[in-house]
Amino acid sequence: MIEYFFGILAFALLGIIINAIKILREYERGVIFQLGRFWKVKGPGLIIVIPVFQQIERVDLRVIVMDVPTQDVISRDNVSVRVNAVVYFRVIDPEKAIIQVEKYLDAVSQLSQTTLRSVLGQHELDEMLSERDTLNKDIQTILDRHTDAWGIKVSMVEIKHVDLDESMIRAIAAQAEAERQRRAKVIHATGERQAAAELVEAAKTLSAEPNAIQLRYMQTLTEIAGDKSSTIVFPLDLIEKLKKAID
């Protein structure tokens, strides 16, 4: 009977020892509570946790990639869009991550959703589409400031998609086409204005030199002669000048 008792006792002690040994990986830390009070953070490697008297909460220190569910956002110019994003963060203080917030993963997720709606709602649709890097930085700054008390560092936020309904997509396409046409007309008008200015300058130069006008006329006649035209008209003043030059 005594041997049976000691056998059970030895088996129980062996179970307690095995249960007390914990192995934490390089990226893990163990937050130890002793009789309900915070004691210390241990790890990585082999640690001992006294059963009943001590409890352990494991914390992963690696960067966590969290998808922010698609959110319905009303922009400042009253356009309804659906936006989703991804948040990169990690725990830098395991004690705060366990003690200061109940479930830090859920807390970061909820905070990311509300912050995404709040920040994007302050901007117009064009800004959402063209200034995404700035918006990412604004959201990341706000999240990082709020999660600092939880021992969490938000390193990056990326807006993945800004989805519009079909009518809005058609409106944006029509706007873009109108903008392209406007630019083309402006470029054409600018070219015409520059060409007119050059022609005025050329006219001033020719009017100051009568002989230059005659040379220009002769050049024009040469160009006409190269065509299939059979008739060439010479001005009388030009003929008189040519006669005088021959005489």
CATH code at 112? 3.30.479.30
Same-domain pairing of 120 and 71: yes
Mean pLDDT of the 110-123 span? 94
- What is the rounded CA–CA span in Å between residue 92 and residue 116? 23
Q: Are 83 and 51 in contact (CB under 8 A)?
A: no
Residue 19 phi/psi, 5-degree rounding, is -70, -25
Final residue belonging to a domain, choices 112, 130, 164 = 164
Before 44, cis peptide (omega within 30)? yes
Q: Give 122's Cβ-side CA count (13 Å radius).
A: 9
Cα–Cα separations (whole angstroms), residue 214 to 18, 95, 225, 227:
112, 96, 16, 20
Same-domain pairing of 37 and 84: no
**Which residue blocks in 21-103 are alpha helix, DSSP H?**
94-99
Same-domain pairing of 76 and 124: yes
pLDDT at 179 over 80: no
Higher pLDDT, 14 or 23: 23
pLDDT of 54: 93
pLDDT band at 246 (very low <50, low <70, confident <90, very high): very low
Same-domain pairing of 159 and 83: yes
pLDDT of 236: 55
pLDDT at 9 over 50: yes
pLDDT at 26 over 70: yes
How many other β-carbons are positioned within 10 Å of the β-carbon of residue 242?
13
pLDDT of 130: 87
Summary mean pLDDT of the chain: 82
Residue 30 phi/psi, 5-degree rounding, is -115, 120
Closest to 66 in 3D by CA, of 117, 113, 115: 113
- What is the rounded CA–CA span in Å between residue 20 and residue 55? 10
Final residue belonging to a domain, choices 164, 179, 209 = 164
pLDDT band at 224 (very low <50, low <70, confident <90, very high): low
pLDDT band at 168 (very low <50, low <70, confident <90, very high): low
DSSP state of 243: H
34 is in which domain, residue-wise? 2-60
Same-domain pairing of 152 and 210: no
Q: Are 112 and 166 in contact (CB under 8 A)?
A: no
Query: Number of structural domains, the chain?
Result: 3
Same-domain pairing of 141 and 183: no
Q: Which of 87-101, 187-201, 217-231 has the lowest mean pLDDT?
A: 217-231
Same-domain pairing of 70 and 142: yes
- What is the rounded CA–CA span in Å between residue 76 and residue 177? 24
Q: Are 108 and 89 in contact (CB under 8 A)?
A: yes
- What is the rounded CA–CA span in Å between residue 105 and residue 100? 13
- What is the rounded CA–CA span in Å between residue 115 and residue 104? 16
% of the chain surpassing 70 pLDDT: 74
Q: Give 85's Cβ-side CA count (13 Å radius).
A: 29
pLDDT of 137: 95
